Chains A and B, each alone.
Chain A
Amino acid sequence: MCGTLNKQTKQKALNFLKIYLKITCIITLAIGILFTIVMIYPLGGIFDTIAMGIAQVSGFLLFLYLLTTILFLKLTPKKKIQYKLKRTDDVNFIGPGIRQKNMTRNVIIVIGLSLVIVNSLPLLLTPLSIQNAEAEFEDAYGENWRDDIPDHIKSFFLPSQFNLIHYFLGVPSRECNIDTDIEYYSEGKEGDDDYLSLRFDVYYPKATKRELPGHNSTIIKIHGGGWVQGDKSIGNMLTINKYLAAQGYIVFDIQYGLLDQEGTKYLPTPDEVKGDFTLHDMIFHIGYFTKQLEHKLVDRYQCRLDSVFVMGGSAGGHLTGVFGLGYNDDYFKGNFSEALTIKGIVPYYPANDAEFYFTGDLDDLIPGDPDSNPLAYKKFTPSKLADKDDPSALIFQGLQDGLVPLKNSKDIEEALEAEGVNALLLTFPLAAHANDFMINNNFAQVFLYYLERFLYLEQL
């Protein structure tokens, strides 16, 4: 009696577990369908935020969907009994059951395999990104551009553009020294509402007798976040900072004042960088940092001022463009240290058109409007700052970026090329905004491969 009860309870538990697993499979595949749609078609709003993560891990997701499909198939009987309704002498009754092929299994297979195929696309399309990057490099540096890099320098670089092991197990981290939270500018008193404290982190190489590719060149990194949120460090792809510092670059990851605006914010943002700051203030803060660099930091970190690079993503990409291309523009005269030689800029998915970005919710960022203050709108559009003396640019752009579409990068590239300046636009099919966050993903790997070579070639 007790044994039967036990068996019954066991069977009940097993049935419950099967139903639970089935529901989990359905939810996983449903979420998979949503994620896949978001990945291939920018839907806007919250979906753009979701898209930032999906294509970066699509290689893992395809296995997840494949396993869920197999699990669902295991839980679904191969054949099901179909009962047919029979009618005799005005009486309905159910006839004997016939075992038929369970069509549900076919539906599961079709959905599962479709998800797997679409999610494998970001990986499968990687050769296209590489082909495009190769063409850009050949245009800029000639067909044999690799010959300009000595073998002992190449040994520090990634040997190939993309590697599956780096994708699944991670790119090995490089060792460097890091000093964090060094204040370079402040206003007001701590505790006051208008207190402003801007800090930077610095990543620099450990002592070595080997010749490193960076030769102590300086990199200034500007974080993104739509000019209203975000931070240095974890908000600014810090793994790249460590990687480049280990190669002999001195990387300064800096804060700047942000516009304190109501609204949904999903990036960690320190209170002491928020205020009623305009783009002019932000450029002033960055300029102030360059003066600190010239007067205080150059000796402390042995960084070179005759070889400076500026990097940043999104809003940081916009400010990178304004700083790097506007450095020699009279409009910004006196703002930056004049001791710098900017060798290159690296804007990631940069915003460009000031009239588009700073006339809606963000119109506080530029005083006036495009009619009353056309000069400011012009000078805060990086493509309109291009001239023949500007540094070369390496641009990262995801083709599925719903937040900052390709047009922005394209405008900057065309403006620089029209002036005879090298502009290398690296495009990534199915990559959304900020899809370089995980250094191991296929987009970031390809970009890193060309970034380290670009930085070296531009120093020469």
Chain B
Amino acid sequence: MSFEKNTPKKSLNIVCKLSILLNILTLCFGVGYMIIPVHTFILDFFGLILILSWMLNIIIIYLDDLYLKKTSVIGKRINHLSFYYIIIFIIALLVMVFNLLFINLIVEEEILLFIANLWILFGFSLISGVGILLGIETLLNLEKRGVWDFE
């Protein structure tokens, strides 16, 4: 019985820790890549980390929604944060895709190219940055009483 009750908590704990770690790695790699864009095989590895970190962020949102007691003060706060995160994630994706498209339309205006790349970096950092916040917020409140349904 106790094993069953602890499983979602343990899962959330692992997912949060992994997500924070991978988001930090993604952020470091991403910023590095945008500043010094080089073609190396390390990028293949980084690509997988990026996808995995985004997926884990979405899993956290889903698990929070599943197990949070939204009537508690902390539960309400985490729930609001995950709502904001979904909206931010969607906007950031759109910002990235429109700027990737825009890059293909720039002939020689270096400043426009720079701005477009900056927007891509901004969108990407927002996804990872707020993902880290959500992971930390969930992890810090995992042991608190009256916040989760699996207690």
Contacts and interface: CB of A to CB of B under 8 A. Distances in A.
Nearest to B82: A74
Interface in B22-71: 29-30, 33-34, 37-41, 43-44, 46-48, 50-51, 54, 58, 61-62, 65
Given A169-B121, A440-B100, 12 more contacts: A67-B58, A70-B58, A70-B61, A74-B65, A158-B39, A165-B33, A168-B124, A180-B108, A238-B104, A438-B100, A438-B101, A439-B104
B54 A63 contact: yes
A106 interface: no
A63 B82 CA distance: 16
B120 interface: yes
Interface in A150-206: 158-160, 163-170, 172-173, 178, 180, 201
B140 interface: no
The listed residue with most B CB atoms (<10 A of its CB), out of A70, A73, A239, is A70
Contacts of B101: 438
A398 B62 CA distance: 36
B45 to A, nearest CB: 10
A140 interface: no
Interface of B: 29-30, 33-34, 37-41, 43-44, 46-48, 50-51, 54, 58, 61-62, 65, 79, 82-83, 86-87, 89-90, 93-94, 96-97, 100-101, 103-105, 107-108, 113, 117, 120-121, 124
A237 B117 CA distance: 18
B135 to A, nearest CB: 16
Contact of A170 (B39, B50, B100): B100
25 contacts: A60-B97, A63-B54, A63-B93, A66-B58, A67-B86, A68-B90, A73-B65, A74-B65, A74-B82, A74-B86, A158-B39, A160-B41, A160-B44, A163-B47, A165-B46, A165-B47, A165-B50, A168-B47, A168-B96, A170-B100, A178-B108, A234-B107, A238-B104, A239-B103, A239-B104
Contacts of B103: 170, 173, 239
Nearest to A237: B104
Secondary structure type dominating chain A contacts: helix
Interface in A228-245: 233-234, 237-239
